[in-house]
Chains A and B, each alone.
Chain A
Amino acid sequence: MSENNQLDKDDLEGSRYLYADKNKDLYLNTFKNKRCPQSNKVFLLLDRDDSEQKLKSLTDHVAQCDVCREQLKKQRSYAFKIDELIPRPTVPRSLQVEFESELAQLIKDFSFTAKPVPSDIGFWSRLKTKFLS
């Protein structure tokens, strides 16, 4: 869900980045420090922080090379299987309602006591210790 509750547009945008990012991960994990048996090309210098240019040279190569494409296909299948083992994002509706009600109370409490009066200082100090120790 987007920060402004505009689900469709921002969710699609998020998915696009997620897809691009995961694809990059996949390419790097599949080819980093490996040699293509067909072209003898070595992808030694490739790393996650490398430029899009370097990644493009790799993806261009994979597009033309049957051996590398097969390797990528295998890795993609493993990645998909692993992805399925990781919990999907979820929040039960009943808990969302409970959360919203507790949150409203919390925000209200803090808006009334944003600046503690001297008699409250002990309480605030205890509260800080409780949460931050």
Chain B
Amino acid sequence: MKNELEQYLQNINKELYSFAFALLPDDLQVTQIILDSITVLLLERSELVETLNICETEEDKANTFLSIKMFLYRHIYKLIDKRAEQLKGSIETQSEYSEYNGLGLVEKAVLFFRSKTHLGFEDIAFILGEGKTEIFQHLANGRQNLALRAGIQMEGNL
């Protein structure tokens, strides 16, 4: 069972890492934050991990894995939210994404999810601990602010 979990976590590391790195562009911090989130999972949601043992169908197993992934995304976001402020000024941001890096944390998270993953609004709302309406608002603000920073002139909203 543990091996199956380990394999799953290895497979989704790229997704988790990409999200975390988009919010906090420091590779070592990000790796540690992902490992810390997995520690929280093993400590706090051992029953979820144990559920993998008793899943009768592949669908049940896929749903359990999905719950694990959502839990990890949520805790990665929480940890970054706490650490980003402490690390402010000590992180060298990539010049390639300077406009994006200058946005607020929640705007960056929503933009990343909508642009680079196929997560729906409900999943994003769960991960960020907000309502769907707020997520729509963050998305609209994030796009406007990013366009403004990059000097993209737009007609109407995007």
Contacts and interface: CB of A to CB of B under 8 A. Distances in A.
B11 interface: yes
B116 interface: yes
Nearest to B6: A107
A63 interface: no
B12 A83 contact: no
A17 B116 CA distance: 11
B35 A103 contact: yes
A98 B111 contact: no
Contacts of A87: 18, 21-22, 25, 94, 97, 100, 112, 116
Interface string A6-43: 00000000100110011001000110001000000000
Given A85-B97, A91-B17, A107-B6, A14 B118 contact: yes
29 contacts: A21-B114, A21-B118, A21-B120, A29-B140, A48-B121, A74-B155, A78-B147, A82-B115, A85-B150, A86-B22, A86-B100, A86-B111, A87-B112, A89-B14, A89-B15, A91-B18, A95-B17, A95-B31, A96-B13, A96-B14, A99-B17, A100-B13, A106-B38, A106-B42, A114-B46, A124-B43, A127-B43, A128-B44, A131-B39
Interface residues of A, number: 48
Interface of A is mostly: helix
B90 interface: no
B70 interface: no
A89 to B, nearest CB: 4
Contacts of A34: 156
Contacts of A118: none
B6 A103 contact: yes
Contacts of A2: 11
Point out which of A18, A90, A96, A131 has the most chain B C-beta atoms below 10 A from its C-beta.
A131
Contacts of B12: 1, 3
Nearest to A14: B118
A86 B116 contact: yes
Point out which of B22, B111, B150, B158 has the most chain A C-beta atoms below 10 A from its C-beta.
B158
A87 B19 CA distance: 9
Nearest to B23: A87
A108 B118 CA distance: 32
B44 A86 contact: no
Contact of A99 (B2, B31, B117): B31
Interface string A42-86: 000000100000000000000000000000001100110111011
